[in-house]
Amino acid sequence: GSTLSETLNSCSNSTESLNVSNVVNETKRPKIHKKKKKKKLTKLSLPDEIKNEPSLKKYWVQRYKLFSKFDDGVRLDKESWYSVTPEKIAEHIAERCRCDIIVDAFCGSGGNSIQFAFTCERVIAIDIDPVKLENARHNAAIYGVEDRIEFICGSFFDLAPTLKADVIFLSPPWGGPEYIHCDTYSIAAMGEFGEKAFQLARNISDNVAFFLPKNSNVDELVRLAGQGKHVELEQNMLNNKISTLTAYYGDELIDWGGNNQFTDATNDDTRRLDDTGYAADFELQDSLAEHSSFSLDVADER
Ligand SMILES: C[S@@+](CC[C@H](N)C(=O)[O-])C[C@H]1O[C@@H](n2cnc3c(N)ncnc32)[C@H](O)[C@@H]1O
């Protein structure tokens, strides 16, 4: 099979294509009339942050992928339009993270927290930005789950030592949509949102899910697990394309059931190391599935 880096590289240049269909009317007059009417309606319904920022229009077209209940009044600020986790992916991650208490350390406008509320007994949703937190609360109410979420406005870096939870979910800022233009997204370059956030999370629970760009540096993610420990890397698909990467750490989060798991007991003969120095003998699972996942063993120090 292909290596993870090959897979990631082959995907790093893909552009998200939007499926906009235009209705063409045969007769001339109604056509003009209809077109005008449609334009007006679209303009009227655009929220201010989209009207003022043409680059956000591509996210607007995908609004129901972000929130299926978008029309019930979902609120997003400018930054959230490109940083919210699309609902299908958030739903999938929430299923993987099913537990009693989960911390959503960087909850933003609630894309993940809302889905966690369906699979976890209690969600602690943290964000430093009061506007986003208020939007998250409002959006959670639309989904009828605000009572299951405790919203805390503050910095995860300050709050982390006070938290107790079974699972920590990390979706820190990636530095804006520009990340996609790098060949490889470096965890080190995330500054405190990378290793520091991860280690703080790990002090709360061994079970950490880290939501990252699809072109993230796999070597760094494997090393985060620590010597002899495991990470499962999962490519999340949207529109039939790999869109993001979720790294699962901790015995309770890692899916040990697949055929492509490596453990310390894995026979060295069956473990193939590629030239970047980590075990990369994995298979992508059925790519027809909404989500593909694979795992690899942690590198020994090399
Ligand atoms: C990528 S967004 C999260 C999006 C979220 N997963 C969703 O689906 O809506 C990252 C969030 O981290 C928040 N943030 C930045 N620094 C923070 C900090 N020190 N502590 C907590 N939240 C922080 C930002 O305000 C932003 O909302």
pLDDT tens, residue by residue, 20-45: 223 333 344 555 555 555 555 455 57
Q: pTM of the prediction?
A: 0.77
What residue type is assigned to position 160 of the chain?
A: A
* Cα–Cα nearest to 243, from 4, 5, 1, 15: 15
Enumerate residues lining ligand 1, CB below 6 A.
80, 83-85, 106-112, 126-129, 132, 155-157, 171-173
Separation of CA 78 and ligand 1 centre (Å): 13
Which of the listed residues 85, 93, 106, 163 should we mutate to test ligand 1's pocket, taking the one with most ligand atoms within 8 A of CB? 106
Exposure pattern of 171-187 as b/e (b: 16+ CB <10 Å)?
bbebeeeebbeeebbeb
Range with lowest mean pLDDT among 42-56, 63-77, 96-110, 201-215: 42-56
**Which of 46-60, 72-86, 197-211 shows the lowest per-residue confidence on average (mean pLDDT)?**
46-60
Which residue CA neighbors atom 18 of ligand 1 most closely?
A: 155
User: Which of 148 and 258 is assigned the larger pLDDT?
Assistant: 148
Atom nearest to 111 CA in ligand 1: 8
Q: What is the mean pLDDT of residues 74-97?
A: 94
Q: What integer pLDDT is reported at residue 266 of this predicted model?
A: 39
* Residue 3 pLDDT > 90: no
Point out the least confidently predicted range of 81-85, 100-104, 157-161, 174-178.
Answer: 174-178
Q: How far apart are CA 131 and CA 174, in angstroms?
A: 19
How many whole angstroms from 106 Cα to the centroid of ligand 1?
4
Q: Which atom of ligand 1 is nearest to the CA of 132?
A: 27
Mean pLDDT of all residues in 194-218: 96
- Tell me the CA–centroid distance for residue 107 and ligand 1, in Å: 5
Convert the pLDDT of each residue in 10-21 to its tens digit.
333 333 322 222
Query: What local confidence, expressed as pLDDT, does residue 58 receive?
Result: 87
Kindly list the structural domains of the chain, giving each domain's residue range(s) and its CATH number in brackets, ordered by start: 4-9+87-296 (3.40.50.150), 28-81 (no CATH)
182 close to 212: Cβ distance less than 8 angstroms: no
Token pair of 161 as six digits: 């030592």
**Quick one: pLDDT at residue 134?**
98
Distance 171 CA to ligand 1 centre (A): 7
Res 52: pLDDT: 85
Q: Distance between CA 215 and CA 238 in Å, rounded?
A: 15
Residue-wise pLDDT for 160-177, tens only, equals 999 999 999 999 999 866
pLDDT at 34: 54
